[in-house]
Amino acid sequence: MNTALRPPDAPESTASLTARAAKLCALVSAAALMSACGGAGDPDDGQAVPSAPAPAPAPGSASPAPNAPTTPGAPPATDPGTMPPLPTSPTPPPAPAPTPAPAPGPAPTPAPAWQLTTLPLGAALPAASDTTRNPGRGYHRWREQPLAVPAPQAPAPLESFQRYTWAQLEDSTPGSYKIAATLLADRAAARARGERFAFRIQPMRGYGTGVADVPAYLSATSTQPECNAPHPVCMWSTQPGNPGVGTYVPNWNHPYVLARMQALLTQVSQALADTSDIAWVDVGLYGQYGEWALSGTQVDYTNSAVVPSGVAPASDATKRAIARMHFEAFPQVRQVMFVPHSNLDTLRYAFFEQAITALPVGLRWDCLGKAGYMDQWLHRPADWALIKDRWQIAPWVAEFCPFGAGSADPSAATAAQQVRDFHVGMVGNANLNSIWPAFSPAEQQALAAVGRESGYRLVATQAGVTQPTHGTLRLTLQVGNIGHAPVYEPWALQGQVRDAGGQVLGSQVLLNAAQVRSLIAGRPAQIDASWALPAAAPAGSYALHLAWVRSPALPAAVAQPMRWNMSGAETDGSLRVATLLRN
């Protein structure tokens, strides 16, 4: 800094002193400003000299100015000669303390594991040795007669058939019935044996018996007004001059006769009440033995010398009426119609036109074993086409033409072949002229084959059981019918998980009743099904069974299992295909 020279020892003037003081004050103020900006001016060159930086203030706080007292809660004092502090960002609120994680609970107990072991399937039983006893197939008991083919040559029967003359069911007064002592008693006997019941009502038996098989109020000597002039007779004899040997034939077309037939069937239906144990009903009440056939030589409607006025062969309308009254009396019961070709119109009505019966009407064959019996149809291809496949939806029920040991025609061999060719389902085990030991070994073999081969035979192959997930089963299976006819009744196939005591804990339908009915030879069913294992099952041993289940179930007295025709089947007829162990 330069100052003006003055003379030595000369006193300064007052103005000079004042100017000097002002200049000094300005210098002091400049020095203070330079100090606030972080540097001091060189007194010689006026350049800023760097100084050591001041310590940085703590975050979130501001330092007070030097020598300035601080007052709590008041802003810091500011020296006029200093720069004010730079603004700072607002301090964020402190973060909340993290919530501690909950203490872990006890680990869940894992579900018990299932251990699966598959079992091998048994083999199909050969037809020549298959004596499996099943409902709705094979031999049935015929008219309480001793079994012509004894067990174990053929399976024991599970159905029992009986036939009654009209006179056995109704007494000499119209509406006076004897059903309880006859039909109901036989049904009770069948139940006691565990057999279902079947029956037919006959308006006449064989030829030349000299006996009227209708109630006395309808006989040729009846005094019933409806059966006397001016009305036609209700019954007539082929030998009116020799009543002890003639054949007595109802006047089929007579309105009163038809009305009494309908009353009889209605009464039988009411007496039976629950018909769930009725295996089938033959549509009867017409023809010899009620079998819808009359010999033109034995009953000659052209012989005006013996045929009364107003009597004629049964018309198609009359035959339809007789069939219809059966259908109306037993709409929920399986019914079967006799197959003489002369009844083509009535068969067409029963099979394709009526809508009364809940179940398809089947076929009845009364002369099994007679060679050429079905030629009456086979030689009429157009008519045969109407019934040839009927066996696929409704059964053939048959009985033997009577024959004995050594007979060439009818014969046992012919009967066995007809069972195979025409898909016969059930055959009466009687009506033969010789006892079992009298037949030759070949005849015995053929008679045994009739009972073993008629109807269905069920087998399972290609079974596979896996466990895709912890709680499920998967079953693959082929089910076939190697018999000659389907299962006609409402049976379904179930997969069942059973405990060690045989109790069913869970089940899965594998084939419903319609699918089971569709099983015929050469047309098996392929099954691929998965289902959940019973989650609530406790630890223990279990098994997977393949079982046939009927719905609706039969009454307990006649309930019978349906069995696989295979080796290794369980006592209840089911197949055990896997074991399951739950730890």
For the CA atoms of 309, 173, 179, 215, the dihedral, rounded to the nearest 10 degrees, stands at -30
For 272-321, the pLDDT digits (tens) are 999 999 999 999 999 999 999 999 999 999 999 999 999 999 999 999 99
pLDDT at residue 90 greater than cutoff 60: no
- Dist. CA 10–CA 327, nearest whole Å: 164
* Pair 548, 489: CB distance under 8 Å: no
Query: Mean pLDDT across the stretch 510-525?
Result: 97
For the segment 376-411, what is each residue's pLDDT rounded down to a tens digit? 999 999 999 999 999 999 999 999 999 999 999 999
Q: State residue 431's pLDDT score.
A: 96
Give 51's pLDDT tier (boundaries 50, 70, 90): very low
Per-residue pLDDT at 518 exceeds 90: yes
Whether the link from the prior residue into 90 is cis, omega within 30° of 0, is no
Predicted local confidence at residue 72, as pLDDT: 41
Average pLDDT over residues 93-97: 58
Tokens 């402190």 identify what position?
94
Please give the share of the chain, as a percent, with pLDDT higher than 70: 81
Cis ω before 410 (30° cut-off from 0)? yes
What is the 3-state secondary structure of 123-141? CECCHHHCCCCCCCCEEEE
Whether residue 30 has pLDDT greater than 80 = no
Q: What is the DSSP letter of 191?
A: H
Q: Who's near 217: CB < 8 A, 6+ residues apart?
A: 172, 173, 174, 224, 227
Specify the pTM: 0.80
Q: Which residue has the tokens 């038809």?
A: 258
- Mean pLDDT on 201-228: 94
Mean pLDDT for 556-580 is: 96
Average pLDDT, the chain: 86
What is the separation, in whole angstroms, between the first and last Cα of the chain? 107
Tell me the three state secondary structure of residue 481.
strand
- Express each pLDDT in 402-449 by its tens digit: 999 999 999 999 999 999 999 999 999 999 999 999 999 999 999 999
Question: In the numeric block, which tokens belong to residue 106?
Answer: 């006890």
Contact predicate 488/136, CB 8 Å: yes
Distance between CA atoms of 398 and 424, rounded to whole angstroms?
Answer: 7
Q: pLDDT digit string (tens) for 332-366? A: 999 999 999 999 999 999 999 999 999 999 999 99
Q: Could you tell me if 423 and 396 are in contact, meaning their C-beta atoms sit under 8 angstroms apart?
A: yes
The sign of the torsion formed by the CA atoms of 436, 442, 443, 444 equals positive
**What are 444's two structure tokens?**
């015995």
What SS3 class is residue 183? Answer: helix
With 60 as the cut, is the pLDDT of residue 575 above it? yes
> Does residue 37 register a pLDDT over 50?
no
pLDDT over threshold 90, residue 87: no
Q: Give the Cα separation of 234 and 257 in Å (integer).
A: 6
- Largest separation between any pair of C-alpha atoms in the chain: 203
pLDDT of residue 196: 98
Dist. CA 529–CA 475, nearest whole Å: 5
Task: Give residue 101's pLDDT.
Answer: 61
Domains identified in the chain and CATH numbers: 114-123+458-582 (2.60.40), 135-453 (3.20.20.80)
Which pair of structure tokens corresponds to residue 266? 């209605």
